[in-house]
Each structure stands twice: as structure tokens, then as C-alpha cells.
């Protein structure tokens, strides 16, 4: 290759235009004082160059720039920032301190590394975004179950034991049934509610609420029956309603002060605390894979109460 170049003195406002077949060597010669016409204006820096395959084309371009004022003025206008501010041009015009420049191979390697790094960062970003979206979907799907868990905890903390006039001595005010169905356990109890009811146009106040929780395979069911006088059974009557969707399984455990039990039947004693666990199923799963599940749980401390 043959080059037409423009260099500028670092200490004087002088420029020089020349041609060569080796830019590195030629710049080194200028800075080492081997060119009489540029020796006194050392050191020099390369500002601009053009590359030609033909030596004749390079020589003609050099002569045109040296002999035609308009041509050199147009060139200097185009590269005025590089001339004025000493800005470095493209990477191909940058020279190291020892006068050696970057080769085309080095530039291609650097460009390839940059592209690979960009691709890697893009892949990492996409993977992170997919993981975040997946986690966000699981969180949103579990949110109703978490709200239901909070409500269950509040109602359990209001559990009371009391005797009724129906079948005295046979009452079961707190009944935890293990393996109630294929989807888990059932818990039934009496809670203070102070709910307003309406019967025959009259407003009545119910002081108690019989509550049951159990799963049906797709959601969590809450059965309630408000009453002034409990009927002696906490598992019958009332109205069932969906409390939370996507609950695949519901489990309870009961702590008696020394160990955890899988069931509880008592009209006289409450457990010290109750463990509640939900299994929430993911919405969809890729073909050929199992649906993923999320387990959420809590422990509720009950009031220390015994029935008289």
C-alpha cells in the first residue's frame, strides 16, 4: 500500500504533506531528524492519511495537495478539529510511544472481542430478565395464598373454647382432621366474630363464627357459619366459599407443648401453636415437564385457653 499523509508539529503551527509506502518508518524518520525540511519542527504527530494501491495515484494526490491551494485548504477544513485540538483520528492513525502503530489484525481482534463481549452481555441480560419475569409470575400467583394465610392466622388467634347446651361434654370446639381428602387436611374451630346478621328484617348480632378450612384440589375453601349459640358441631352447616385459588394442597400440624401432632380433637384444650402450609401450583409448564410448585407456610400462636 502507498500512503499520502499530513503531519503537524507538536510545538509549531507547521504542517507537512508527503507520501510513503511505510507510515511508521516515515513518521519515525521525521521525528528522528532524518528529513531536512522537517527537522527543525520536531516532534511531529500524524493527523491524517490516505491509502492507495497504486504508487502513481499516491504521488499524484501528494502533488495536487502541495500545488493546489484549494485542495489543501479543503482538506484542512475537513480535518480542522484534528489539526486544532490534536484529536486522534480513527484507531488506524493511533501510534504507540515507540512509533509502532496498530496492525489491521490487531484491530480485527479487538473488534471481535468487543462483539463477543456485547453478545455475552446481551445473553446475560436476557437470561436475567427471563428469570425475573418467571419469579414475578410465581410471586403474583402466590399472592392470593399469602393473603389467605394472613387471614387464617388472624382468625385462629381469635379461637375460643366453649361448652354448649347441646350434648354437653361431647362438644369438639377445635377439630384438626388429618388427610381429610386427597388434597390435605381440614381444620374447624369457633372464633369470635361480632358480625351483624339480618333475619326477618331485624338486625341481630352474632358473637361467634364456626369456621372450617379445607382444600378441594384447585383452591382453598373457607366454610363459615355465624351464630349466637354454637350447635355443638364445628363441621356442619354454613356456607363454603373460595378463599384462594391455585392451592393444590393444605396441611396443618399442632404443637401440644412437647411435640407436633398431625391431628387435634378437643373441646377442652387448644394447641399451643398451629403450623399452616400451602402448596401453590405453577400456572403452566413446558411440554414434557412437571408443573413447579411453591410452598408457603407460617406458624400461628394460639391463646392459652381451656374450656370450663
Average pLDDT over residues 205-221: 84
More confident residue, 93 or 249: 249
Phi, psi of 292 (to 5 degrees): -80, 150
What is d(CA 282, CA 291) in angstroms, rounded to the nearest whole number?
6
Residue 128 has pLDDT above 90, yes or no: no
pLDDT tops 80 at residue 32: yes
Q: What is the pLDDT of residue 165?
A: 43
Give 135-168 pLDDT, tens digit per residue.
666 677 778 888 999 999 999 998 888 765 444 5
Residues 6+ apart with CB under 8 A from 223: 188, 210, 211, 212, 213, 214, 238, 239, 240, 241
Task: Return the percentage of the chain with pLDDT > 70, whole number.
Answer: 76
Per-residue confidence band for 90, with pLDDT thresholds at 50, 70 and 90: very low
Whether the CB-CB separation of 46 and 90 falls below 8 Å is answered with no
Q: Which of 63, 10, 7, 69 is nearest to 35 (CA)?
A: 7
Q: Are 246 and 219 contacting, i.e. CB atoms less than 8 angstroms apart?
A: yes
State the pLDDT confidence band at 106, using cuts at 50, 70 and 90.
confident
- How sure is the predictor about 97, in pLDDT bands with cuts at 50, 70 and 90? very low
User: In this structure, which CATH number among 3.30.530, 3.40.1440, 1.20.120, 3.40.630 belongs to the domain 2-100?
Assistant: 3.40.1440
- In the predicted model, is pLDDT for residue 7 greater than 90? yes
Highest mean pLDDT among 19-28, 219-228, 261-270, 299-308: 19-28
pLDDT digits (tens, 9 = 90+) for 10-30: 988 889 999 999 999 999 999
Q: What integer best gives the mean pLDDT of the chain?
A: 81
Position 247 pLDDT exceeds 70: yes
Give the domain ranges of the chain.
2-100, 150-301
Does the structure show a pLDDT above 70 at 53? yes
Has residue 288 got a pLDDT over 60? no
Amino acid at each position: 500500500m502507498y500512503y499520502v499523509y499530513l503531519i503537524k508539529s507538536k510545538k509549531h503551527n507547521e504542517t507537512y504533506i508527503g507520501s510513503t509506502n511505510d507510515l511508521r518508518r516515515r513518521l519515525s524518520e521525521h521525528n528522528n531528524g532524518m528529513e531536512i525540511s522537517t527537522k527543525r519542527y520536531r516532534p511531529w504527530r500524524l493527523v491524517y492519511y490516505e491509502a492507495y494501491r497504486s504508487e502513481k495515484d499516491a504521488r499524484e494526490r501528494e502533488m495536487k495537495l502541495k500545488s493546489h491551494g484549494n485542495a489543501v485548504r479543503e482538506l484542512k477544513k475537513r480535518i480542522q478539529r484534528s489539526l486544532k485540538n490534536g484529536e486522534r483520528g480513527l484507531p488506524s492513525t493511533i501510534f504507540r510511544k515507540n512509533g509502532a502503530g496498530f496492525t489491521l489484525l490487531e484491530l480485527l481482534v479487538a473488534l471481535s472481542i468487543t462483539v463477543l463481549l456485547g453478545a455475552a452481555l446481551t445473553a446475560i441480560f436476557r437470561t436475567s430478565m427471563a428469570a425475573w419475569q418467571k419469579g414475578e409470575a410465581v410471586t403474583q400467583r402466590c399472592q392470593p395464598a399469602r393473603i389467605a394465610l394472613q387471614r387464617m392466622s388472624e382468625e385462629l388467634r381469635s379461637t375460643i373454647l366453649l361448652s354448649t347446651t347441646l350434648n354437653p361434654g361431647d362438644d369438639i370446639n377445635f377439630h384438626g382432621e388429618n388427610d381429610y381428602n386427597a388434597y390435605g387436611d381440614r381444620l374447624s374451630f369457633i372464633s369470635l366474630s361480632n358480625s351483624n346478621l339480618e333475619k326477618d328484617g331485624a338486625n341481630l348480632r352474632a358473637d361467634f363464627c364456626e369456621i372450617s378450612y379445607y382444600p378441594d384440589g384447585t383452591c382453598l375453601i373457607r366454610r363459615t357459619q355465624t351464630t349466637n349459640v354454637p350447635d355443638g358441631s364445628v363441621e356442619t352447616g354454613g356456607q363454603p366459599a373460595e378463599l384462594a385459588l391455585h392451592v393444590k394442597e393444605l396441611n396443618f400440624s399442632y404443637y401440644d407443648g412437647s411435640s407436633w401432632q398431625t391431628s387435634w380433637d378437643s373441646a377442652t384444650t387448644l394447641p399451643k401453636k398451629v403450623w399452616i402450609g400451602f402448596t401453590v401450583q405453577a400456572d403452566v409448564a413446558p411440554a414434557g415437564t412437571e408443573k413447579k410448585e411453591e410452598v408457603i407456610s407460617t406458624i400461628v400462636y394460639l391463646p392459652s385457653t381451656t374450656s370450663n
